[in-house]
């Protein structure tokens, strides 16, 4: 019911992921980011795996080690699909034997994509190719990859939710956390949200780092 991509920007060190699904509110359960990398847990989802993955990445564990460690204590690995990328561009994937429907996966330069219940198993390949051939901010490139996934067939049925999360080195909170929880065209709506947020992003980062230097929006306590 889901297709997604996780990636790193080798110029900035940002890591992030984007995801879409036929299920409502997919981002809250499936997409996780932190200073050390990004992780996605999908298919029949256990969100705790994503949280644990980010902690292990922060501790310096490589993506394949992260997945191996998660699966040691996971009671239902056959239902899980996992994607992990770290800030060095290393990545790893896992598909449980009970992954639903048509399953696809692909690795690229600093990125990894996968999905289940896909219209075509080559959807992740199209996403990786689009990411590798794109330029600009990581957030923009992740959305372009998602749009390429839709163009390649996307899910076997309609999608209704989508999200985008991006983290920066040495910042504990996601500097980008945008989501569309229910919409007939969630990825297009997500892109519109990104276009609204992009011009203000650095101002909000500055508010956290140095409020005296940050611009005021005239909204006390925001």
Residue 106 contacts residue 114 (beta carbons within 8 Å): yes
User: What element of type H or E holds 17?
Assistant: strand 15-21
pLDDT digits (tens, 9 = 90+) for 43-69: 999 999 999 999 999 999 999 999 999
- Is this structure's pTM higher than 0.85? yes
- The residue to which tokens 């110029």 are assigned: 11
CA–CA separation, 20 and 13 (whole Å): 24
- Look at residue 1 in the predicted model and tell me its pLDDT: 75
Picking from 112, 138, 110, the residue whose alpha carbon sits closest to that of residue 14 is: 138
* Beta-bridge partner residues of 180: 162
Note the pLDDT of residue 167.
98
Instruction: Name the DSSP letter for residue 200.
Output: G
pLDDT at position 219 is: 55
In the chain the domains, ranked by start, together with CATH numbers, are: 2-213 (3.60.20.10)
Closest CA to 167 of 37, 30, 52: 37
Token pair 């996992």 is found at 82
pLDDT band at 215 (very low <50, low <70, confident <90, very high): confident
The DSSP code sequence of 95-142 is E-TT--SS-EEEEETTEEEEEESBS-TTHHHHHHHHHHT--S-HHHHH
Task: List Cβ neighbours of 47 (8 Å cut-off, separation of 6 or more).
Answer: 28, 29, 30, 41
pLDDT in tens, 137-196: 999 999 999 999 999 999 999 999 999 999 999 999 999 999 999 999 999 999 999 999
Q: What is the pLDDT of residues 71-118, one digit of tens each?
A: 999 999 999 999 999 999 999 999 999 999 999 999 999 999 999 999
With b for 16 or more beta-carbon neighbours within 10 A and e for fewer, the 64-73 pattern comes to: eebbeebeee
- The mean of the pLDDT values for the chain is 95
Give me the pLDDT at residue 166, please: 98
Share of the chain above pLDDT 70, in %: 97
What pLDDT was estimated at residue 95?
A: 96
Each residue's pLDDT tens digit, 12-34: 999 999 999 999 999 999 999 99
Instruction: Compute CA distances 212 → 15, 173, 203, 207, whole Å.
Output: 28, 20, 11, 8
The pLDDT score that the predictor gives to residue 222 is 57
pLDDT (0 to 100) of residue 218:
58
């Amino acid at each position: 019911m889901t297709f997604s991509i996780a990636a790193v920007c080798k110029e900035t060190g940002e890591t992030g992921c984007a995801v879409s699904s036929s299920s409502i509110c997919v981002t809250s359960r499936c997409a996780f980011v932190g200073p050390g990398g990004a992780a996605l847990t999908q298919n029949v989802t256990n969100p705790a795996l994503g949280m644990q993955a980010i902690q292990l990445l922060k501790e310096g564990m490589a993506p394949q080690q992260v997945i191996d460690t998660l699966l040691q204590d996971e009671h239902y690995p056959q239902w899980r699909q996992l994607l992990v990328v770290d800030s060095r561009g290393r990545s790893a994937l896992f598909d449980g034997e009970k992954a639903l429907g048509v399953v696809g996966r692909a690795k690229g330069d600093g990125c990894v994509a996968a999905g289940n219940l896909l219209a075509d198993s080559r959807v992740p390949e199209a996403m990786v190719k689009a990411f590798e051939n794109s330029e600009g901010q990581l957030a923009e490139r992740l959305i372009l990859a998602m749009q390429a996934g839709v163009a390649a067939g996307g899910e076997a049925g309609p999608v209704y939710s989508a999200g985008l999360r991006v983290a920066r080195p040495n910042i504990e909170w996601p500097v980008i956390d945008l989501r569309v929880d229910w919409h007939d065209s969630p990825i297009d709506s997500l892109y519109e949200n990104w276009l609204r947020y992009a011009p203000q992003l650095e101002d909000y980062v500055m508010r956290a780092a140095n409020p005296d230097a940050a611009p005021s929006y005239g909204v006390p306590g925001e």
